[in-house]
Structure 1
């Protein structure tokens, strides 16, 4: 039994946050018919005569209420699928629930007409235990206005029917209140929960579309740059080639000069294309920091960046830029993070040379370590070629929460100002985010032993986000 519980809990932890929220919301919604049933239906027993026939009718009401709860669970599932656009209208389930509800109302009318039930809220509570299920399924399939019209019509019809059966005016007032409130709860509780799930699905789809849009934009940029470089040169090459052909047919010596010009343009074009491709492949640290911050914020992760404009060779900038890109990708793919902190600093190595250190830290680490991929291996090889190192470790914060820390260290040569303080915010070359500058906390300058991240006080997206 213990092993089974552990397996279920482990499977639950491996699910994504969206899957966990959707599953828990569905089961809470499926349990509401039972909550209404067990809180309302038993109240009729002490208010009914002890004779065998009235008690038999009450027992039949209980039995039909149980059937209604079972039908409501399945009907709500089908209604939610229809609302979310993944299933048809659950007409058969609505008809089945109406068929079950009608005898419940008829039996209650019989008890009232025969004067076998005492005045009070007993009848209203019995309806409270059986009406929310079918009303909830109906509310998921129609507009709110139409559902409210049904609640109003149902309240009027039930009030009239029980008044004809002989129910007193005080009990009728209680009946009207209970049916109206029950109808509104039954209609809007499932609808609001399902609307919440639909919004979450749309956000998840937006998160999957955003990387594809980024790739498409980068392809457009590259094609535009390539067109700007090659368009004019290819046009000039075509014209000069045609001119050289005409001159050669006439035997003019200037044809050779034109072909030499074509050769020069071709070589220049080749050089320019290589420069474009080289710029496309190279990664800038400041660009990657700004891009990672924007992508993580769009994904709901509060990202703080400090020290993005240290002076260092282009090779070190590119290597650390690849680290930021891989780290941000891992946060999005392998963590359910609420915050991420990036710090770039200057340190003096033990051997006496200056180095640039980048530390990237985030929460939301899965309980189970993921399988190692090729991304970090490639980064280690890239940094090793420059004499640098890369470490990745799981750790915990003072509160015991799991953290993941990625630390990259690259020697930068004697011209690097080791240990110098770093400008942050507007002076760092990246425009500040709304909300102003951020106090980064006690950030250690000895190589990133701990970022001292101060969790945001807001919702983590539009609140205090650091500039970099």
Structure 2
């Protein structure tokens, strides 16, 4: 059974921001009938209030659907909901006019006029704010706000309201709807910024891997390029000498054999240097990378005097754990500790991401399987999984009398 916050904990940071933004605007839309309903049921008969709330409820439903589709468009899941935006704009204008005209010309009392006035103002402000979610250019948002504000003033003046009062009405609608539109526009900007930062983090991780591959390829080229060229030349010379039955051909092939063995040794050194990780350097690098990603990282314990094989194995554990925290979790804090009980070294990595890395379990996962292979080569063990306190915990244990790890020659 998952924890109560498991649904939320499994979401990435951009997904959490998107969910928060989406439901914030749903609740903002629901506050429209709340504001109008408090005024309506407090001033007029319940039947009249229900009659007023019916078109308001339809307007709110349309606004919520439009907001949802606009957010889907923002994150690239749907095309821009132009028809819904036009429909919401038309419904907002019609409902506002329908609320204003009876209040000026119909046989309504002061209380009913107050209710209809609240409908007029609330519908315009909320409607413009929701429409702003579907617009990407600031200029269009400004024209939307100014257009509805000016339209409200013109309609009020056309229905007999004094010019000064109509101007005040236009100013009020412009200011209030502008506030809601600015809130919508800023929320969309913030959501886009979060997704862009997350994409940049993924790009940085891919570039780091690509850079390491290029370095390895460059080292191999430097080692093998010259030696292979010499082997090719001496082999060709040996062929020519053998065709002439010259005894020097044997000496040339002996030299080719020597160079080939030397190349094999140099490649083995390159691979050994590539595969061996320094624990202290990995801890320092993990702390810097995690803090740069906005994750508080604490490192504790002593690493001095550890055998090279132990440092290499535990260094790879730190490297893999850091990658998992960055790519799969949603951690805010990560703690790395190195303890040295009698005859053993225990490395513990904890993070509050609350979920295991994608595709990883206590016994499975490609990355964890690779770590287990490395640790088993030096007599070590690895345990990884979600702890009872909701943290993800990775524990690697290696004996100080570690067996030398086997190097694979290519």
Q: Which range, TM-score by smaller chain?
A: 0.7 to 0.9
Say if 2:287 is the partner of 1:293: yes
Correspondences of 1:389-428 after superposition (within 5 Å): 402=391, 404=393, 406=395, 408-412=397-401
Which of 192, 212, 236 matches 1:242?
236
Cα distance in 1 between the residues matched to 2:280 and 2:370: 21
Say if 2:86 is the partner of 1:86: no
Correspondences of 1:79-118 after superposition (within 5 Å): 79-107=70-98, 108-114=100-106, 116=108, 118=110
CA shift for structure 1 position 116: 3.6
Say if 2:137 is the partner of 1:143: yes
Deviations 1:368-411 (A, max 9, x none): x9553256676566546545565668768xxx785736253431
Give the equivalent residue in structure 2 for 1:152: 146
Q: Which segments of 5 or more consecutive residues in structure 2 lack a partner in the other structure?
A: 403-410
Change (3 A) 1:245 1:129: same
Q: Which segments of 5 or more consecutive residues in structure 1 lack a partner in the other structure?
A: 414-468
CA shift for structure 1 position 302: 1.7
Cα distance in 1 between the residues matched to 2:6 and 2:380: 38
Cα distance in 1 between the residues matched to 2:391 and 2:19: 25
Cα distance in 2 between the residues matched to 1:123 and 1:182: 17
Cα RMSD (Å): 3.7
TM-score, normalised with respect to structure 1: 0.71
Correspondences of 1:150-229 after superposition (within 5 Å): 150-168=144-162, 171-172=165-166, 174-229=168-223
Contact 1:81–1:87 at 8 Å: present in 2 too? yes
CA shift for structure 1 position 7: 9.4
Change (3 A) 1:334 1:165: closer
CA shift for structure 1 position 141: 2.1
SS state at 1:81 partner:
helix
Change (3 A) 1:249 1:364: closer
Cα distance in 1 between the residues matched to 2:369 and 2:95: 68
TM-score, normalised with respect to structure 2: 0.80
Which of 10, 18, 21 matches 1:22?
18
CA shift for structure 1 position 92: 1.7
Contact 1:310–1:345 at 8 Å: present in 2 too? no
Say if 2:34 is the partner of 1:38: yes
Contact 1:44–1:122 at 8 Å: present in 2 too? yes
Give the equivalent residue in structure 1 for 2:60: 69
CA shift for structure 1 position 110: 3.2
